[in-house]
Amino acid sequence: MPATTFDPHVAAHWIERFRAGARERVRDELAVEEPLEIRVDGSPLAVTMRTPGEDEELAAGFLLGEGLVTGPGDLASVGLAEDLAANVVEVRTRSGLRRDPSAERRFHLSSSCGICGKGALELVRQEAPPARPVAPGSIEPELVIGAPDRARREQVAFERTGGLHATALFDCAGELMLLREDVGRHNAMDKAIGALLLAGALPTPGTVACLSGRSSFELVQKAGLAGLAGIVAVGPPSTLAVALARERGMLLCGFVRGESFNVYAGSELLAE
């Protein structure tokens, strides 16, 4: 039997399963959740609960999504601490963060936390750069319809555990650029955006994010800070998510099921 490839996203555990009156002990696969500390220029900044893997991307995407950096030019290096068991990512900036965030957030985040601890929504909005215009009619409805199924086929860890969120990024031609999974939906977005940031591929005009769940304010904010054209989600958005997407001129679609979907913002960006 060939050796199983190690996957940091998944861990096997013995469980007891009850089915049709029978009880058996079986091995099950669970999504891994562990803390990650993000240090910037030698000082601790945040601790987030995440699924291990793509930790450098998560750290870079987190900083971009908070408006603490604005592009790859702000980063000198991003890497794991020498002691891998420490679960620490070390970020070195070229000239410090764009602002001191210490008064804005309690930077101890759960895997489900987005802007937890923010003092006011204005502190989030004010860091967004000017919206990048996207040409009307430049996004095909077929991209929206096909994105969730295309992304679902690439969710390898979800297929094994059923316990991970995903963010997939599609280019304006509808091609899948990359997909990242994590127990936290915000982490999945940070990892996807961080991958582009570290590759020097931001901004990416016309890029659309596909979410495996719902669209919240903070996910729209992260997408806006990364210069994405919009979000497609299998679930619904919140009222603040819709308001921000409209404010930013972004496409926001929800309840994408089969051949149907709802458009909450940016309908002018869809081709006829």
Strands 43-50 and 108-109: parallel
> Which three-class secondary structure string do you get for 221-254?
HHHHHCCCCEEEECCCECHHHHHHHHHHCCEEEE
**Distance, CA of 186 to CA of 108 (rounded, Å):** 14
> Which three-class secondary structure string do you get for 24-64?
EEEEEEEECCEEEEEEECCEEEEEEEECCCCHHHHHHHHHH
**Distance, CA of 36 to CA of 44 (rounded, Å):** 11
- The residue type found at 246 is R
Both structure tokens of 256? 């994408």
**Distance, CA of 119 to CA of 146 (rounded, Å):** 38
Catalytic hit among 113, 116, 210, 253: 113
Both structure tokens of 159? 């297929």
Residue 174 is classified by DSSP as: S
Both structure tokens of 254? 């929800």
Instruction: Please give the C-alpha separations between residue 140 and each of 81, 119, 190, 215, in angstroms, as whole numbers.
Output: 43, 38, 25, 20
- In order, the DSSP letters of 142-160 are HHHHHHHHHHHHT-HHHHH
**Distance, CA of 263 to CA of 139 (rounded, Å):** 13
How far is C-alpha 109 from the chain's CA centre?
Answer: 14
253 catalytic per annotation: no
Which active-site residues does the annotation give?
113
